[in-house]
Structure 1
């Protein structure tokens, strides 16, 4: 953070496993109720199996399986899957207060995941045409945000140790044939708790420099 600028408070909440819709509504309520003095927050969680469809519904095919609920939500992007073993980090950030726009925030999120994977010797990259993080063209992290009143919510998901088969029933993030991967399949031995703590540290370090 620049010299002489006040420190902007940032809190983290470890929520455990939470229902997607309940957490989404809680983010909306937090955003609606916040004031100029409300600390920014990161919410760390995982969800039971759920497909989520963002605001970009163009050419999106419905899931081929009916045993997993589909929630139409207000984040950016198209369709994706969340389930146990996938790390979720939600960003409840006052963008105006941090003089931050969406593209730099997306890059910050992507760079933190890339740095995390790099600590384990895995080369990953972002793509300009499709936000997220990729390892050899297989997607390992997805991003989606919503901005209201100069503040954002929603965030990123990182596949760690999950059943990836539900992705086969959709075009992940709207891309037909897009393959996905996860840290376990890349040979990373660390568990959810370890990777969550490491990613949180990377994110906080970057956010606190703004």
Structure 2
């Protein structure tokens, strides 16, 4: 680059006198020497890589935010937003239940009414407890002692409630009904069914398992 600068300084019009250069030749040489540097030597272009990396970084951050936010809200994997859970006081436990049964301690609504009834099926006596909220939300709980060798077929979506095996299914449509069955110690069978009633709160499989695991 220094040589080119010096050459430009030396190539004055007097340089061509007495050397047989025509005017055309002289103009071409001067134009070539005094012309701008070739594009391959141009370094004043704005950097492209840095802005591109910034855009990619922002896009990645937004993707992570949307994913984790959607996961927490239950919008990913086909779930609705998780329902709020309220503490259910032990004093509301129906007296008809024996000591061998646990009872839920969390509910997706504030319980306003509790009813109980007794039934029976081929496996034995059944205790049915119904919890209702102010918007007609309903939880139906079934408690049953069974023989250890009782052959029960849990044919729906297999799940785990703590260490116990169970099954889950739900109905179609906006007023989704969720149903969970699980067996503890091979001798205690629990069933739980949730109806949204007049509310817009539906429960996912994760919500139902969370409620079942609150049994104490």
Classify the TM-score, shorter chain: under 0.3
Larger Rg: 2
Q: TM-score w.r.t. structure 1 length? A: 0.26
Q: TM-score w.r.t. structure 2 length? A: 0.26
